Each structure stands twice: as C-alpha cells, then as structure tokens.
Amino acid sequence: MASLVIAEHDNASLKGATLNTVTAAVKCGGDVHVLVAGSNCGAAAAAAAQIAGVSKVLVADAPHFADALAENVAAQVVSMAAAYSHILAPATANGKNILPRVAALLDCQQISEIIAVEAPDTFVRPIYAGNALATVQSSDAKKIITVRTTGFDGAAATGGSAAVETVAAQGDAGISAFIGREVAKSERPELAGAKIIVSGGRGMGSGENFKILEPLADKLGAAMGASRAAVDAGFVPNDWQVGQTGKIVAPTLYIAVGISGAIQHLAGMKDSKTIVAINKDPEAPIFSVADYGIVGDLFTLVPELIAELG
C-alpha cells in the first residue's frame, strides 16, 4: 500500500511543511504520492514532482479548490482514499482544518500532530501542551495523520522526478464560500519555517515597544514571534504567537526577549537548537531551557546586542 500526502501550497508554490510531511510518509513505508488540490496549481504540482522520495503527484485542478475550503478538499481526498493505507497532512492551520473531516468520512480516528513513526501503525504524539508524549497504536484500516513539521526533517525539495497525473476533480459542495484573506505583509521569513526567531513577551510592555526588536530581526534575517501573554495583551497579532495554542517552531536560534517562559510557550519552542533568553527576572522559567541567558533590562540589552552584531 501507499501513502498520500496532502500538499500545502498556494497554487503557485509549495509550502515547506509539505517536505516534512513527505519524510513522515516515507517512514510509514510504501510509495509516497502527493495530492495537489488547487486551481491553476500546475506550478505547485511541478514543485511537488521534484521532491525526493515522491513517486507520483496527483493533481486535482478546479476553481473551487483555489482556497482550500475544507468541504471541497476533504471530498476530493475521500474520493481517492481507497488506494492508500496512510493519508497525511502537515499540522498547519490548513491541514488541521481538512484532515479530521477526511478521517470522519472514512470512519477513522485521526492521529494528530505526530512527532515520530515507531511502526506503520504506531506513532508518538505530544499531549498536554507537550508535557507528555503518548505512543499510540491505531486499529483503523487507514491511518489518517497530521504531522508536526518540527518533528521531521524536510525531504530534499529537488532530486525527485515523480510522474504528474491529473485526477478527476470532485464537484463543489456548494455549502461554503471563500470571501477574503488578510495576510500580514512582511519582508521577514515566515515564523513556521524561520532559521532564526526573535520573540517578545509581556515584558515588552506595549506593542509600540516591539519596534525595538525589529532592527535585531532585520540584522539576523529573523522572523518575529511573541508569547501568548503578549498576544493576549494586544501587543501583536495572534499569528505571531509561539506556543501550544499558536505555532510550534524549532529554529536554529530562538531569542526570547521579556518572555517569562510559561509552560504553554515552552511547548512551542523548546525544540529550538539554541535558545537565548533576555529577562530581568533571574528566576524566570525561561532560563531553565535557555542555552544562554542574560539577566537585565531588555531596553538596554537589545540595543547593545544590535550594536554588537555590527
């Protein structure tokens, strides 16, 4: 049997989360096929065909797939499910929206946000905001899985040469419609895939004060993030949130500024390679996970750090 990976894409390009999901699919055994359901999504499909380890790319191209409405994409996946033992999607907002719908239609209990494949039917997933890891074995005929991208290295984006096939597109369910999107425009990398992240917490004091982190992020080519406390206080938008209720990240370098280190925040970033904490409270829990901590006033230390980086 084979695995089907639901590609994360914006029709024109493939999102990096697809690569991590392919790696998880390879570990499940068998061939790996990728479904690109979109509208005028030829470019995304061509990119998927380049991924190392993918043997076939299936394209469902129709106007009602343009914005990945769950009702339409789930119906498409279900129509193709018979050929697969495993169906996987990245645990992104999109994957988390669509895949449980697929699972229920197939009468399968989804396995959410896996971080390891122990066997084709056995997976490890975090529970309780990452404070415990559960190893679970599925008795369902098909394994429907979302993949926590930080748990798996990305497959090589090039080197593969999968066949691209068009599949029959299922119709528009006609019960939902896309109205619009407000995407925060930023020159900076996306939080989920950034190599370096500069993150601010309640200690920043205000949304205005987050501006002092911008030159630091610019200098390092970093994405900007925040703790839930900073989001709840209205300093920055919710899509900056790193943590169990926000994004799970694992950059090479994570710089936590004015973040105390609540459990729910640590759950979102503790897999970072190197963690730096800047906080005025020497007892802050963030220091218990930081490789390098510095105690002091962030409003002095951050400008110093920017200057030192030159």
Partner 1 sequence: MKVLVPVKRVVDYNVKVRVKADQTGVETANVKMSMNPFDEIAVEEAMRLKEAGIATEVIAVSCGVAACGETLRTALAIGADRAILVETDADLQPLAVAKLLAAVCKKEGPGLVILGKQAIDDDANQTGQMLAALMGWPQATFASKVTIADGKAQVTREVDGGLETIKINLPAIVTTDLRLNEPRYVTLPNIMKAKKKPMENHKPADLGVDVAPRLKTLKVTEPPKRSAGIKVPDIKTLVDKLKNEAKVI
What residues from 216 to 255 belong to the interface with partner 1 (CB under 8 A)?
220, 228, 231-232, 237-239, 244-245, 247, 252-253
- Name which position in 2, 46, 66, 70 contacts partner 1 (CB under 8 A): 70
- Name which position in 38, 53, 126, 200 contacts partner 1 (CB under 8 A): 126
**Least distance to partner 1 from the beta carbon of 210, Å?**
17
- Name which position in 1, 83, 134, 163 contacts partner 1 (CB under 8 A): 134
Q: Which stretch binds partner 1 (CB under 8 A): 21-29, 64-72, 152-160, 210-218?
A: 64-72
Distance CA 4, CA 2 (A): 7
Residues 6+ apart with CB under 8 A from 90: 6, 8, 15, 17, 18, 20, 21, 146, 147, 149
| Of residues 32 and 111, the one with the C-beta less far from partner 1 | 111
Q: Residue 49: what are its φ and ψ, rounded to 5°?
A: -70, -20
Distance CA 68, CA 98 (A): 8
Taking a C-beta distance cutoff of 8 angstroms, is the pair 10, 37 a contact?
no
**Per-residue binding letters, 18-37, with partner 1 (x by CB under 8 A):** --------------------
**Per-residue binding letters, 151-190, with partner 1 (x by CB under 8 A):** ----------------------x-xxxxxxxxxx-----x
Taking a C-beta distance cutoff of 8 angstroms, is the pair 221, 278 a contact?
no
Q: Which stretch binds partner 1 (CB under 8 A): 19-27, 32-40, 162-170, 301-309?
A: 301-309
**Least distance to partner 1 from the beta carbon of 109, Å?**
4
- Name which position in 18, 76, 138, 260 contacts partner 1 (CB under 8 A): 138
| Of residues 25 and 302, the one with the C-beta less far from partner 1 | 302
Distance CA 261, CA 203 (A): 11
Please report, as a single letter, which amino acid is at residue 171.
G
Q: Residue 14: what are its φ and ψ, rounded to 5°?
A: -95, 140
**Least distance to partner 1 from the beta carbon of 297, Å?**
12
**Least distance to partner 1 from the beta carbon of 105, Å?**
5
The reply on whether position 39 binds partner 1 by CB under 8 A is no
- Name which position in 13, 40, 79, 131 contacts partner 1 (CB under 8 A): 131
In what order do the strands lie in the sheet containing 111-114?
111-114, 143-147, 84-90, 2-6, 32-38, 56-61, 163-166
| Of residues 82 and 177, the one with the C-beta less far from partner 1 | 177
Distance CA 76, CA 170 (A): 6
**Least distance to partner 1 from the beta carbon of 6, Å?**
14
The footprint of partner 1 on residues 79-118 (CB under 8 A) is: 92-94, 96-105, 107-113
Distance CA 197, CA 217 (A): 7
Nearest partner of 146 among 83, 84, 101, judged by Cα: 101
Half-sphere exposure of 243 (CA within 13 A, CB side): 25
The footprint of partner 1 on residues 281-300 (CB under 8 A) is: 282, 287-295
Q: Which stretch binds partner 1 (CB under 8 A): 38-46, 58-66, 210-218, 272-280?
A: 272-280
Taking a C-beta distance cutoff of 8 angstroms, is the pair 77, 87 a contact?
yes
Tokens of 123: 């997976």
Q: Is 13 helix (H, G, I), strand (E, B) or coil?
A: coil
| Of residues 26 and 220, the one with the C-beta less far from partner 1 | 220
